[in-house]
Structure 1
Amino acid sequence: MRGLKGKRVILTGGGSGIGAATCRRFAEEGAHVFVFDLDGNAARETASAIQQGGGEAGAFEVDITNRDAVFSAVEDVSGGGPVDVLVNNAGWDRLVPFIESDTDLWTRVIDINLYGPLHMHHAVLPLMKKQRHGRVVNIASDAGRVGSSGEAVYSACKGGIIAFTKTMARELARSGIQLNAVCPGPTDTPLFSSFAEGETGDKIKTALEKAIPMGRLAQPGDFPGIVCFLASDDAGFITGQTISVSGGLTMSG
């Protein structure tokens, strides 16, 4: 893709799943990747794999719910050059019907899935505005577009990220900054495995595979292409858009 070589990319949740796969793809495109993850060892593993393949990468152990930690890590990155691309990928949830959930769960889900990306935007967008260019790709979820049983608060957060992305795209379009959202459908990641274990988990997976027109769950490798495209020069006139990657499960606009 055009325009990614030499770009400096911050990606949260880059230690596993979609994040790790996307970090590797950015590196393949010639970008310098900064892997942010709560699990420092996982971040270092992703960065090391990129370096061993001849790419450029650095690892940062960052809790995105901690505003000070976010600003400190972003400052470390920006001290060496511009932040050209931000990918907000980190997320977490636990499958619980809303009326059986409690405020402790709500707080954790909101802190990670809403406040975390807000912290990242607040740290990075002023830098992008000053340099008059930047791309942000927010990994939202189809749960935020059409809802998802057992994920009420998570869905609310992801719906909020979609609306936030559109709003910031409007606010910053004349500043040379483009923001778009990618919405994964059900994906075979460690997060999915954490609440799809045992016999019940097998039933959930089978039901989803039957419901998805393409007949399978998404894999982490299904997402790096669209994320890198939106960060590339090939997407130079695209902003404020929400793109579903769900194997056809959700086809509504």
Structure 2
Amino acid sequence: MVFSLKGKTAIVTGGGSGIGKAIATTFAKQGAYVCILDFNVENGNATVSEIEKDKGSTSFYQCDVANQEQVEDIFNEIAKNNPIDILVNNAGIAHVGNIENTNSEDLDRLYNVNIKGVYNGMRAAIPYFKKQKKGVIVNMASIASSVGISDRFAYSMTKGAVLTMTYSVAKDYVAEGIRCNCISPARVHTPFVDGFIAKNYPDNQAEMFENLSKTQPIGRMGKPEEIAHLALYLCSDEASFITGTDFPIDGGFIKLNG
């Protein structure tokens, strides 16, 4: 099977919804044992149920990725019976605002999840990968890590850090058999997008959805499954020559705008 993950154990943070859920279910279909880490118990259990209904192998761990001790404990528990092969650092939160209306609490909250959460995951996984002389990390960055996006000051800051952490880890551990890449999506249609529109534009949701879709040159938002398919490739043996690379998946946003 091309892009098979049979016999591999994959940890997916934020695997309870949106892109993370799509990655978790896709990996399970390709034979991986998928360990879902998510703060939301209901979402995490729902993803587990969907995978098990499809005869996949999975477990759920409630986790605050900003809590280093908790992350390390979960990785240690998983590794007792299943050598860890893949880490997808997908958990993240968003924020709308420029520097003037981003307060220090906003900044700390995004830092703790989007930066420290990725750091905690990689720091917990790398010792296992070093012992095995192999391992794959995929971090979820954003097009906001490489181009200017209006009213995304704090979010862009954190995703820029994800991008550069990816490069650093790839460089430091390439000789250890560890590959590290990141994916940079543009706007993807997830439950977060629907919730954002419903909260901020309750009287013209359809119009705003269409407007957001048109900001992508291709004329629509991405689908979570499309991001998952790229993650699957990067985590498969077919991508064994790829490390230290950012992969925009953006409907032409970066190159075709402006």
Q: TM-score range by the shorter chain?
A: over 0.9
1:221 correspondence with 2:221:
no
The match for 1:245 is: 249
8 Å contact from structure 1 (residues 64, 119) kept in 2: yes
Q: Offset at 1:148?
A: 1.7
The match for 1:21 is: 22
Q: 1:51 to 1:83 in 2, by over 3 A?
A: same
The match for 2:36 is: 35
Aligned equivalents of 2:21, 2:75: Cα separation in 1:
19
1:248 maps to amino acid: G
TM-score (normalised: structure 2): 0.93
For structure 2, the 5+ residue unaligned runs are: none
Which string of whole-angstrom CA distances, capped at 9 and with x for unpartnered residues, describes residues 95-152 of structure 1?
A: 1222012111111011010001101111111110111000000011111111321111
* RMSD after superposition: 1.5
2:127 maps to amino acid: P
Q: 1:204 to 1:95 in 2, by over 3 A?
A: farther
TM-score (normalised: structure 1): 0.95
Correspondences of 1:128-143 after superposition (within 5 Å): 128-143=129-144
Correspondences of 1:33-182 after superposition (within 5 Å): 33-182=34-183
Q: Which runs of 4+ in 1 moved over 4 A?
A: 199-204
Q: Offset at 1:251?
A: 2.2
The match for 2:197 is: 196
For structure 1, the 5+ residue unaligned runs are: none
Aligned equivalents of 2:177, 2:235: Cα separation in 1:
13
Which string of whole-angstrom CA distances, capped at 9 and with x for unpartnered residues, describes residues 28-47 of structure 1?
A: 10000000000122111111
Q: Percent of aligned pairs with the same residue?
A: 32
Aligned equivalents of 1:151, 1:187: Cα separation in 2:
16
8 Å contact from structure 1 (residues 94, 195) kept in 2: no
Aligned equivalents of 2:52, 2:195: Cα separation in 1:
29
